[in-house]
Structure 1
Amino acid sequence: MTHGPSEGSGEFGTGWYLRVGPMGTLGDGLWSVRCYLTNDYPDGTTIGPGVDDSAYPEDRVLWRVGVDAQLRRRVSVARWAVEGVPPLWAVEIPDEGGERPGCSLVVFDTDDLPPGTVLTNDEFASIAVDSAQQVAALHWSTDTATIDQIFVSPQLRRQHVGTWVVYVADALHHHHGWPGLMTASGRRTDVAEEAQGRHLHRVDPRTERVVIIDPDTGIAAP
């Protein structure tokens, strides 16, 4: 049975995922995905590919991940979800040699790439941007989808940058087809607390306020 959008309600629902199709041009096991916010499926449900998506409302798409004309990955986050966020792009860096699988997302605000572009580490090495120019970062465990670190530069706080980073990480997690739903533990900084986004039911209550010391200034970050 085909499920259509919720009728008669202007409220956004839970988050579920539509696999539009495989992205074989970038390698096996990668997916073009959209995240919808409606009540048509239980939270975290993944459907597709091969589903007729014509009945689903475009204005309920929270994010989508695909490729651009240069076959670089691109994540588009709905403007209403991160209103006022500056143009950002990112680099995805898988962990190497750790006890468990994980991944980092390092974010930049330069004009070298279109907003939402996500590079691999090898692709990043080919452009004239230094890693010291990063303005935000997030790390998560890819086997559990648990966020354990997030940082936003002081000059970009209170601009929904942290929320944007969480949504892009969520998109990449589903792009890879990794297990689990993006969640956060109870140990969080103030920045992480503000970056929870619209999936609050996936976030444990904060049990400890974590403080990160900026290594350059020695000052505690919020």
Structure 2
Amino acid sequence: MVAPDQWPTDVPPSGTASWYVRTEELQHHRWRVRCHVNDRHPDGELIADPGELHDTFLLWDADLDEAGRPVLSVNPAVSPGAPPMWFVHLDERDTDPPATLLVAFASDHLPPGTVVSDPVFFSMPVRNDQQVGAIRWWHGDAVVDQLFVREDLRRLHVGTVLIYAASAFHQFNGWAGRLHSDGRRTHLGEALVTGLRHPDRIARLQQLMPPMDPGTATT
């Protein structure tokens, strides 16, 4: 994991390529993996031999903590004002196509970036309506389906953290592809993707989707 004082702060221009480097294979086909930003390699590629990394911008890091829980850390330089968040992971295996959700909470119940399962969350003294945002994507296609940010926290880069955390979790699980949008978005999703770093990953809006209901994001 990255210490707070080790994150680079010189954010590259929007559109600079981001690519992934696996640092260690874990159980269950998962990986310690990092996302670096630099035009040395193509955007969205998994790089086996990246060479020296001192001149790259580290965007996010996916790791495990001592308890074996995933930890998704996003460089705070790209999300100024966003509160520290931890996440609840939900699988929607019975949907077509199957989907993955990360629901974000900004309390001190867990260290920032920690990911827990829905059953673990159910036993915690945290209410579902305390969530600050959520993201849902079809992991088989790496397509973001829905994005929600609580109204009082919009414009604080919570959506940015959610998108990069989802990207980190996607790569952590060894799923194929780079997270992107296929043109189906909610009103909020359309507003959030406007300022993202990789416009080539965002297809033109083609279908307006219903708002993401925070009341159904966790059980």
Answering whether residue 47 of structure 2 is matched by residue 47 of structure 1, we say yes
Is 1:82 the counterpart of 2:79 in the alignment?
Answer: yes
For the residues of structure 1 that align with 2:55 and 2:61, how far apart are their CA atoms?
A: 11
Partner Cα distance (2:56, 2:20) in 1: 15
Partner of 1:106: 103
Contact kept in structure 2, 1:140 and 1:148, CA below 8 Å? yes
**1:16 aligned residue:** 19
Aligned to 1:5: none
The answer to whether 1:126 aligns with 2:157 is no
Aligned to 1:7: none
TM-score (norm 2): 0.83
Alpha-carbon separation, structure 2, partners of 1:95 and 1:131: 17
Which of 1 and 2 has higher RCO (CA within 8 Å, sep 6+)? 2
Bigger mean CA deviation after superposition, 193-202 or 77-86: 193-202
Distance, in Å, in 2 between the alignment partners of 1:215 and 1:69 is: 30
Report deviation, 1:76: 0.9
Deviations 1:104-133 (A, max 9, x none): 111111111111111122332332212222
* CA distance in structure 1 between the aligned counterparts of 2:214 and 2:89, rounded to whole angstroms: 23
1:163–1:194 CA contact under 8 A, matched in 2: no
Structure 2 SS opposite 1:165: helix
CA positional deviation for 1:47: 2.1
Give aligned pairs, total: 201
- The residue number in structure 1 matching 2:6 is none
Unaligned runs of 5+ in 2: 1-11
Alpha carbons of structure 1 residues 131 and 22: separation in structure 2 relative to 1, 3 Å? same
Residues 1:76 and 1:213: Cα distance change in structure 2 (over 3 Å): closer
C-alpha separation between the residues in 2 aligned to 1:123 and 1:133?
A: 16
The one-letter amino acid of 1:206's match is L
Report what 2:205 is aligned to.
Answer: 206
Tell me which amino acid in the other structure corresponds to 2:21.
L
Deviates more, 1:146-155 or 1:130-139: 130-139
Contact 2:146 2:212 in 1 (8 A): no
Q: TM-score, normalised by structure 1?
A: 0.82
Partner of residue 174, structure 1: 171
2:61 to 59, 64, 67: 64
Gaps of 5+ in 1: 1-9, 217-222
> Is the 2:186–2:209 Cα contact (8 Å) retained in structure 1?
yes
CA RMSD of aligned residues (A): 2.2
**8 Å CA contact 1:93, 1:103 repeated in 2:** yes
